[in-house]
Amino acid sequence: MSKLKLILLSLTMTALLIPLPIAAAAQDVREGEAPTPAEPTGEPFAGDVLCPADAYLQEPEDCLVLGPSMILTDLAKMGVTLPPPPLPARHTPNDLAEISYRYIRITYRGSVPVHISIPDAIAGNVSRSIGLGFVYLSYNARQDSDHGIFYRFGTGEWIWGTYVSRITPPTFEGFIFNETPSTGFGWVLDPVESTQTPGVDGIYSGLTYNRFDVVPVFQTTRVDDTDWHLVGASEWIEDRFLAKVEPYLLPPEGVDNNRWIELDLNQQTITVYDQGKLVFATLTSSGSAPFHTKPGLFQIQEKLPAETMSTGDPSYYYYLEDVPWTMYYDEERALHGAYWHSRFGYTRSHGCVNMSIADARWLYDWANIGDWVYVWDPSGKTPTDPSLYTSGGP
């Protein structure tokens, strides 16, 4: 490259490095005048930031509670948390339902002959008859013969199989609690679709619950003389479809050891408290009209691992062998296992307090003679006049 070209290239590069004179600026500044500030060229203000999706019971200073946060906050003010907190509990162990008894039910609608032995039965020799009624037997032998099937039940007598059917005790397990839950909960009693608002005119949510499903109960409101329970975000279930447990940790008046069993006749639930904590809860079946379970404060008087219950009254005759885990607390009214039905959550008995076999076993093991049993009806529908009550029954 020639010297001339090198000189021209050097001058060009130098010129590029020299800043433009002020006279080349967009505005012409005269001597003695202050320059006008330039307009800012940054990004324009876009507003406050949204809060992260969460519930804010106190107004934050650095973000806006809008969108999902507003929905979660409104729900939190109603007591609803998403996802709902799990129950601090476990189910009653299945092995507590194991018993050594097998049961049959008399299905014949008439007088049923009973025999001392199978040969007597074949010969037509009848020792006695069992009348029409509510009769369940505990059998300890089953014999097939050319003349049919025979069962030997608790008294040592035999009955033809044609008069009876074998039954399988129902299974249901309540909850054993590690600590008292922070919110109420309930068991769904029959299939039901929740509604978006409380009331019979509410729009259905499209979510269906089945019998024995467990749901949280965040809030209860009354619409047209009916209680409705909030079980989720914009989900309500009518009271008649739900058996609710709402822990009451203060002992009833008269309980002197802070340890008691509580029966809610309105909700058909049993709750068990020990030293100010909820330790157990389950569904029950108490007395149906006119055999109501009597309200009041009682104490467990007797505990029997199995009991035969009967009455001679022909108007409501019953005979039930080997009723398991029986605890008498008020005349013939007792807490016990029920092997003959599974309608826990609804009234059904002659005054006793029916539970599943597993739940009755847990309660039997927990309870002591003299422990308190508090029976009440918060709805006020159960009569309190003692003259209206029989001595009770299963």
pLDDT along the chain (394 residues), means of 10: 40 42 44 58 69 81 79 72 86 96 95 96 94 94 94 96 96 96 95 96 95 96 95 94 96 96 98 97 95 96 97 85 98 96 95 97 98 96 86 82
Give the three-class secondary structure for 120.
helix
Domain with CATH 2.40.440.10 in the chain: 259-388
What spatial distance separates the first Cα and last Cα of the chain, rounded to whole Å?
Answer: 119
Measure the CA–CA gap between 283 and 346, rounded to whole angstroms. 9
Measure the CA–CA gap between 162 and 156, rounded to whole angstroms. 18
What is 100-167's CATH number, 1.10.1200, 3.30.2320, 3.40.50, 2.30.30? 2.30.30
Cis peptide before 198 (omega within 30 of 0): no
pLDDT at 12: 43
117-148 burial code (b ≥16 CB/10 A, e <16): ebebbeeeeeeeebeeebbbbbbeeeeeeeee
Integer CA distances (angstroms), 166 to 98, 117, 150, in order? 17, 20, 12
The first and second tokens of residue 334, run together, are: 């007792």
CATH class of residue range 259-388: mainly beta
pLDDT at 71: 66
Helices (H) and strands (E) in the chain, counts: 4, 26
pLDDT at 242: 98
Q: Which amino acid is at 277?
A: K
Residue pair 268/285 in contact by the 8 Å Cβ criterion: yes
pLDDT at 72: 75
Domain with CATH 2.30.30 in the chain: 100-167, 182-245
pLDDT at 23: 41
Among residues 311, 310, 367, 379, the alpha carbon closest in space to that of 335 is found at 367
pTM over 0.85: no
The CB density around residue 242, as the number of other CB atoms within 10 Å, is 25
CA triple 230-233-235, angle to 5 deg: 50
pLDDT at 343: 96
Query: CATH classification of 182-245 is 2.70.98, yes or no?
Result: no
pLDDT at 17: 41
The CB density around residue 252, as the number of other CB atoms within 10 Å, is 14
